[in-house]
Structure 1
Amino acid sequence: MQLYQDYHLASANTLSLPSVAKQLVCLDHVDQLPELQPLMEAAARRWVLGGGSNMVLANYIDALVIKVQTKGIRILSETTDQVLIEAQAGENWHGFVQYCLAQGWLGLENLALIPGTVGAAPVQNIGAYGIEVDQLIEQVQVWDVAQAKMCVFNSAACQFSYRDSVFKRSLPGRYLITAVQFRLQKKSTWQPVMRYPDLSSHPDLQGEPTALAIFNAVVQIRQRKLPAPAVLPNAGSFFKNPIVSARQYEVLLQNYPTLVAYPYGEDQYKLAAGWLIEQAGWKGKQLGPVGMHKNQALVLVNYGGATSTEVRALVEMLKRDIKQKFDVLLEQEPIAVQ
């Protein structure tokens, strides 16, 4: 196991921000954890890095960065209706979704083309088109650095909520996710989830769509709406959809009849952050090397040479404008790594 000093991370984050880690080590197999433990204990600060797709990296990260690259997918149990599978944390998320679909393990198709790794999925509780990953997670296996041992978190212990989990809220580097278990459906019990208009109105999904058809439609929609990070660096959806009370929703609806929102639990609504941003005039707006994408107002992009300082400046200006116009506070979705 090699320990790198002053490691450049520009190619390891999808926003392509220039960043240098004080130290970096790659975890290729869980058997390396006992060897890695002393390094993690000695480090004053730690950060776990997967695909770097949901992070805003500072210019210099005064910490030990652990890049998780473990691979492997296996069946734990199987019935005629369901399958329980385990995927290692370093598996590419979209590749994992494709693999499951090819095996006839269904349920992940709405989460196609989300960048990142399997291990990062529960941290952020990723979601898209009516599905959040916690609906499919059985348990998460982690290495607890504080206790120097492997632990298992069932779904309840993960404390999942909208784009959040106990892993995101805990001290950075306390838990290193090593594997995630998913309970998926076979064709006999699978039910399509098509609540979002982009899917319900899609011409290829009329009648009784298959999971593969939904997967293909999601890929097509995301490719049309979202820039590929390899072409135009970005971190995907940059802001959470804000959740407001029913009363605040009614007030907003009176002032903005075209407001896009969805019921969320009891007496709450989830507002479309992209709609708010577009209405405030930020869609396609650019400040120096950073801006909000011309086709999807929710996506912050790096046009070339941007730093975390410039990203932060744009974010603060945009949030201030949204607060003044709608009295709604936007929350950044990507994690800021300092």
Structure 2
Amino acid sequence: MMTDSGALKPLNSFAIDVRARRVIAAYTEAELFTLWRQAADDATPVLVLGGGSNVLFLENYAGTVLLNRIAGVTIEECPDAWHLHVGAGEVWHDLVRTCLEQHMPGLENLALIPGCVGSAPIQNIGAYGVELRQFCDYVDVLQLATSTLRRLSAAECQFGYRDSIFKHALRERHAIVAVGLRLAKAWQPVLTYGVLARLDPQQATPRLIYDTVCAMRRTKLPGPALQGNAGSFFKNPVIDASRAERLLSRYPDAPHYPQPEGGVKLAAGWLIDRCGLKGYRLGGAAVHDKQALVLVNADNATGEDVAALARYVRQQVAERFAVWLEPEVRFIGAFGEVDAVGAIT
């Protein structure tokens, strides 16, 4: 176990300068339960945090932040697939790179997504046509009040677009401790988005896709170490087909992706860019000048600066396109997670 001064600035990728009552790291399930129980006995709120890559602290946190640092990767090879059991505290991108180096492809489209493995199911992380749910076999969850370990199948996780049961029924008093992944040996490249669509499917190796994705992300997205951010701030909105047809009649160049359920996904970054908001600044927060989907900590921004900018961006997009954006980032108040849409409405 490790305790520090309670400073959260180095523990959230937005680099918001806030503090918690205390910050403690847990390296085992037993430590996680014990520390949670201690904080609960003190009648203070508890927040379990991984890499802090998808959260926005609006203010100082009134309780204990538990850093989930449960590590370990085990691999079982079967005739048709590799089965991985990965500790929640492992760094996601390190896992992607390790799989590639060990000739276990599948995750390359998800390279350079910041954060820890335990956070990946919460958001059902996705990029460039691939989502975690395509590989997730199970998620191990610790019920913190009872120290009961429960294994959820992929179906039980209720994965949706940037959504899962961990944002709803299992949001409180639960901590993801491990994720099971299945990487099929019958690999096929996914080349549906961005520069990947220009690659020759016959020549597209896992390494080429990985390198291309890393190059795209490094070109378009600011590194959190250089400029605080949480990656994509808003979800790409999905609207019904009739609304999409009307919008595309006015903006035929708008990127759009028909969905299996019948809706049409739009590119939130394109909508924001069309509102002329690249580089727009409010307080210490700004819309990134190269990727409008990213809000950045431009100059000692507070959480409220970022929320105010998100509110302004959302309003501008709604006025022009009649589309309401929803944050992908989780908002954290003094006593825990708050409704992100409500916070910017």
**TM-score tier after normalising by the smaller chain length:** over 0.9
Matched, 1:11 2:6: no
Q: What is the aligned residue count? A: 332
Q: Which runs of 5+ in 1 are unaligned?
A: none
Higher mean displacement: 253-262 or 327-336: 253-262
The match for 1:194 among 181, 191, 194 is 191
Matched, 1:53 2:53: yes
Mapping 1:1-338, distance limit 5 Å: 1-2=1-2, 7-42=6-41, 43-75=43-75, 77-170=76-169, 172-186=171-185, 189-202=186-199, 205=200, 207-338=202-333
Kindly provide the amino acid, as one letter, of the partner of residue 313 in structure 1.
Answer: A
Give how far 1:44 is off: 4.1
SS in 1 for 2:326: coil
SS in 2 for 1:337: strand
Give how far 1:157 is off: 0.8
Change (3 A) 1:142 1:266: closer
> For residues 64 and 37 of structure 1, what CA distance do their matches in structure 2 show?
8
Kindly provide the amino acid, as one letter, of the partner of residue 256 in structure 1.
Answer: Y
Change (3 A) 1:78 1:40: farther
Aligned structure 1 segments of 4 or more residues deviating by more than 4 angstroms:
none
CA RMSD of aligned residues (A): 1.6
CA contact (8 A) 2:33 2:144 kept: no
CA contact (8 A) 2:12 2:53 kept: yes
SS in 2 for 1:181: strand
> For residues 223 and 77 of structure 2, what CA distance do their matches in structure 1 show?
36
Kindly provide the amino acid, as one letter, of the partner of residue 71 in structure 1.
Answer: A
Change (3 A) 1:326 1:303: same
Higher mean displacement: 148-157 or 34-43: 34-43
Kindly provide the amino acid, as one letter, of the partner of residue 191 in structure 2.
Answer: M
CA contact (8 A) 1:55 1:334 kept: yes
Give how far 1:14 is off: 0.7
Give per-residue Cα distances to partners, 1:30-85, cap 9 Å, x unaligned. Answer: 2424433422532442211111110001221122211111211002x322331111
> For residues 38 and 314 of structure 2, what CA distance do their matches in structure 1 show?
39
CA contact (8 A) 2:50 2:118 kept: yes
> For residues 163 and 307 of structure 1, what CA distance do their matches in structure 2 show?
25
Give per-residue Cα distances to partners, 1:151-205, cap 9 Å, x unaligned. Answer: 111101111000011111246442111110100123xx11111111420214xx5
CA contact (8 A) 1:225 1:296 kept: yes
Change (3 A) 1:101 1:149: same
SS in 2 for 1:7: coil
Change (3 A) 1:37 1:21: closer
CA contact (8 A) 1:47 1:172 kept: no
Higher mean displacement: 160-169 or 206-215: 206-215
SS in 1 for 2:142: strand
Give how far 1:208 is off: 2.6
Higher mean displacement: 33-42 or 77-86: 33-42
Give per-residue Cα distances to partners, 1:262-307, cap 9 Å, x unaligned. Answer: 0012320000000100001111211232111111010001112100
The percent of aligned pairs where both chains have the same amino acid is: 41
TM-score by length of 2: 0.92
TM-score by length of 1: 0.94
Give how far 1:113 is off: 0.4
